[in-house]
Structures are given as C-alpha cells and as structure tokens.
Amino acid sequence: MLCRYNTNSVITNIPKGLEKEMGHDLNKVLYVEDEKDIQTVARVALEMVGGFELKICSSGKEALAEVEAFAPDLLLLDVMMPGMDGPETLKGIRALPNMANIPAIFMTAKVQPQEVAHFKSLGALDVLPKPFEAMKLASQIRDIWAQKAV
C-alpha cells in the first residue's frame, strides 16, 4: 500500500484546488451502483425529483471508461460493489488526468461514526446512508455540496 499526499492535506481532507471546483452549481452527477433496482429508484430521485443531469454506471470499471467523456461535477459511489469497490473506483478515477480533485460522496449501509471518518479520509465529502430517503436524496446531496463549498 502506497499512500502519498502532501502533509498539509492530511489535516483538512480537502484536496488542493477543490475550493475553486466547488464554486459553481452542482449539475452533472455520475452514480456508480451495481444494483439495477436501486439504479431505477435513484434515477427518479435524482433526475425527476432532483433535476440533475445523471449518468449511472454499473461498475467501477465502467465508470473509469465513461467518466472523462461525461465530465461530472460530482461522483456518487456505492461502497460495496463486486470487482472494484467504491474507494477503489474513486482512487482509479482520481488517477485520471483532470480528475485528481473531483468531489465524491459515498453511499453505504455502514454508518458508524468512525467509518464515516474513514471514508472521509479517503477523500470523500461525506457519506450518505443506505437505504436512502429517495424523496430527500437530491436535497441531501445539494446540502453536502453547499456546505463543503463554504
């Protein structure tokens, strides 16, 4: 395991340059989720209710292939997926050119405080619990976006 970072970033968890990226409105969301049914629910929650421009990928591999063409503002990543899991997918995407600082939110059933801290230390803005509240999902994402932009 090779973890490399500028020591300053350990403290804040916010990658350099992120402040600038988060200055604009949230519009395009790339959602990575392996469950088809949950995809369907999320599509309604994020497109119809939330009004986002949404792209859904079924695996980390697919996301890696699509992310640059779609150029999302935000990644929404399921943590537990077969093959590449959420954190691995994030790492892979951030290793791509121009994607080093892309904001991300994890979704997972595990929501103990120290686990949330762990996911944040991997570079995520926040963690949303599963099962999520579909009607509120989009506004929760906007809240996180707004809060971190401050």
Report the candidate in 49, 22, 16 with the shortest Cα–Cα distance to residue 144: 22
- Angle between helix axes 60-70 and 86-94 (nearest 10 degrees) is 40
Give the torsion sign (CA, 149, 89, 140, 98).
positive
| Nearest distance, CB of residue 147 and another protein, angstroms | 21
CA–CA distance, 16 with 6 (Å, rounded to integer) = 9
Among 42, 56, 77, 81, binds another protein (CB under 8 A): 42
38 touching another protein, by CB under 8 A: yes
The verdict on 1 binding another protein (CB under 8 A) reads yes
Interface pick for another protein out of 66, 101, 132, 148 (rule CB under 8 A)? 132
Least separation in angstroms between residue 136's CB and another protein is 8
Tell me the sheet residues that pair with 106.
77, 127
How far is residue 113 from each of residues 116, 117, 118, 126, measured CA to CA in Å?
5, 6, 9, 11
Under the binding rule (CB under 8 A), the answer on residue 95 touching another protein is no
Cis check for the bond before 131: say yes or no (omega within 30 of 0): yes
Binding mask 45-84 for another protein (x = CB under 8 A): x--xx------------------------------x----
Catalog residues that contact another protein under the rule CB under 8 A. 1-4, 6-8, 10-11, 35, 37-38, 40-42, 44-45, 48-49, 80, 109, 112-114, 130-135
